[in-house]
């Protein structure tokens, strides 16, 4: 009888990362998402009052919205998706910075 290779690896993966590690990752991703959201909104407001093209504050605001979504997902335990969204949000904000 052949064993499923994924079933044999599952207990090792559970032992490697505990509940405390998952909780720490969730709080880290949530805090980072909230901080990046605030930074993106502040940058959008600063660029909105200046002479920057309309694309710049829009990019910062969109990046902040993506980071806010990431923080919400992270607080619900979807840390991997949240981290990818954080990367995407920062990249959107970087586009706004390059357009300035």
The tens-digit pLDDT sequence of the chain (100 residues) is 555 555 555 455 445 678 888 889 899 999 999 999 999 999 999 999 888 888 999 999 999 999 999 999 999 989 999 999 999 999 999 998 888 7
At residue 42, the pLDDT reads 95
What is the Cα 45 distance to its own chain's centre? 21
Residue 33 · residue 52 · CB < 8 Å: no
Residue 63 inside a domain? The answer is yes
Residue 77 inside a domain? The answer is yes
Q: How many domains does the chain have?
A: 1
Residue 82 inside a domain? The answer is yes
Structure-token pair, residue 27: 């709080």
Residue 13 inside a domain? The answer is no
| H-only helix segments in 50-78 | 55-75
- What is the extent of the structural domain holding 55? 22-99
Q: Which residue has the tokens 């959008």?
A: 44
Distance, CA of 69 to CA of 18 (rounded, Å): 25
């Amino acid at each position: 009888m052949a064993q499923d290779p994924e079933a044999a690896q599952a207990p090792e993966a559970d032992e490697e990362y505990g509940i405390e590690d998952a909780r720490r990752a969730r709080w880290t991703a949530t805090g980072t998402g909230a901080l990046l959201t605030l930074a993106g909104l502040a940058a959008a407001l600063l660029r909105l009052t200046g002479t920057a093209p309309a694309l710049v504050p829009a990019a910062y605001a969109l990046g902040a919205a993506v980071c806010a979504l990431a923080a919400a997902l992270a607080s619900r335990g979807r840390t991997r998706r949240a981290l990818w969204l954080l990367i995407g949000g920062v990249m959107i904000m970087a586009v706004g910075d390059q357009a300035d």
